[in-house]
Amino acid sequence: MTGKRWIALGVAAVLFLFSTVFTVVTQQFGSEVDDFIGAQGMGVNEETMHAGTDAGKIAVVHIEGMLQDTGGDDFFSVGYNHSRVLNQLDRAAEDGEVHGVVLRVNTPGGGVVESDEIHDRVQAIQDDYGKPVYVSMGSQAASGGYYISAPAEKIFANGQTFTGSLGVILQSFNVSELAEDLGIEAETFTSGEHKDFLSPFSESNEGEQEIAESIIDDAYEQFIDVIDDGRENLTRDEVYELADGRIYTGNQAAENGLIDDTGHLEDAVDSLQEDLDRGDLSVVEYVGGSGMPSLFGFAQQLFPGSEQRQLEYILQDNDGPELMYLYTE
């Protein structure tokens, strides 16, 4: 194991210790702590990126990290905070001063459900509130990251952004041989033949493999529908051809029609300003509360690549198999 990975495990241990101490404090002081956490974690604060000379504003919402709802306390959530992102999207939709939204997407994707919830919020901002949504892709906006971007009116990406990875993954661990080597025998009693489907203590049989394939196919077709609906420039057959799981750079995505243009966050904001034609609007970005996320932000700077995702995985609840729109290295 490399020194960097040892440090990652050390940071994970520190964060776990903080979380444990916090749990004890919460049990002792109950509602007082809950009220404080709610105020700190779920608040939507604005920071001005550009002070415009005309009335109204453009809201920038950052979506970074693996899209996974850990169900934890918002104040102590690690990395990506699903509740906070949904709250920010709702704020952008309901704020009468906001005339358009830019999503800054920098994620390898994540859970199928979480991706779909964000997608539906983005769709509602445009359809129900009449506000255009543009996307600026960061270093990666793959799989679920593309899923949440697809309904946007315009998509921008850096020429070397990693996007694509259009597809589904269902993963579980099998430790049956290891358990046997250790002399551990797991006894499982079920009410049906497939109740222990994808159990880590038994190998999948042919019937269970067919079940897994049917689940994956259903989620895959939903992904195809989302792209087909969002990218009117592509036919459904073209979407199928592109959705074979491969990664595309931003330049390649511009050529094959998955995005509209290459550029940075500033280019997406400027394009939205021009298309809105409302003069010089202010540009604000939404930021959440403080606390544990800032400590995890330090860890993200230490481990910007796969180590970051491993650290997130260690600290998040992974009680069983989960269907994912996720790009994995």
Question: How far is the CA of 304 from the CAs of 76, 86, 210, 312, in angstroms?
Answer: 20, 24, 37, 12
- What confidence score (pLDDT) does residue 203 get? 74
Active site residue 4: no
**pLDDT, tens digit (0-9, with 9 covering 90-100), for 63-73:** 999 999 987 54
Question: How far is the CA of 110 from the CAs of 9, 38, 85, 179, in angstroms?
Answer: 22, 25, 14, 29
- What confidence score (pLDDT) does residue 231 get? 98
Reply yes or no on whether the pLDDT at 252 is more than 70: yes
Name the nearest CA neighbour of 270 among 134, 124, 83. Answer: 134
Residue in 4, 172, 195, 290 annotated catalytic: 195
Residue in 143, 149, 165, 199 annotated catalytic: 143
Q: What would the DSSP string read from start to end of 304-322?
A: -SHHHHHHHHHHS---S-E
**pLDDT, tens digit (0-9, with 9 covering 90-100), for 37-50:** 444 445 689 999 99
- What confidence score (pLDDT) does residue 171 get? 76
**pLDDT, tens digit (0-9, with 9 covering 90-100), for 151-164:** 999 999 999 999 99
**pLDDT, tens digit (0-9, with 9 covering 90-100), for 99-115:** 999 999 999 999 999 99
**pLDDT, tens digit (0-9, with 9 covering 90-100), for 181-228:** 777 776 666 676 666 666 666 677 777 789 889 999 999 999 999 999
**pLDDT, tens digit (0-9, with 9 covering 90-100), for 281-325:** 999 999 975 444 445 444 554 555 555 555 555 445 555 667 888
- What confidence score (pLDDT) does residue 264 get? 98
Reply yes or no on whether the pLDDT at 232 is more than 50: yes
- What confidence score (pLDDT) does residue 183 get? 77
For the chain, give the mean pLDDT.
82
Strand ranges in the chain using DSSP code E only, listed in sequence order: 45-50, 57-64, 98-107, 109-111, 133-142, 154-157, 162-164, 169-171, 247-249, 261-262, 282-287, 322-326
**pLDDT, tens digit (0-9, with 9 covering 90-100), for 163-172:** 999 999 987 7
* All structural domains of the chain: 3-15+40-163+245-326 (3.90.226.10)
Please give the Cα distance from 295 to 133 (Å, whole number).
31
Tell me which amino acid residue 240 is. Answer: Y
Question: What is this structure's pTM?
Answer: 0.78
- What confidence score (pLDDT) does residue 29 get? 54
Please give the Cα distance from 239 to 227 (Å, whole number).
7
Reply yes or no on whether the pLDDT at 22 is more than 80: no
Please give the Cα distance from 154 to 231 (Å, whole number).
9
> Which pair of structure tokens corresponds to residue 321?
């198999």
Name the nearest CA neighbour of 262 among 158, 164, 161. Answer: 158
Distant-in-sequence, close-in-space partners of 242: CB < 8 Å, separation ≥ 6: 164, 166, 227, 234, 248, 256, 258
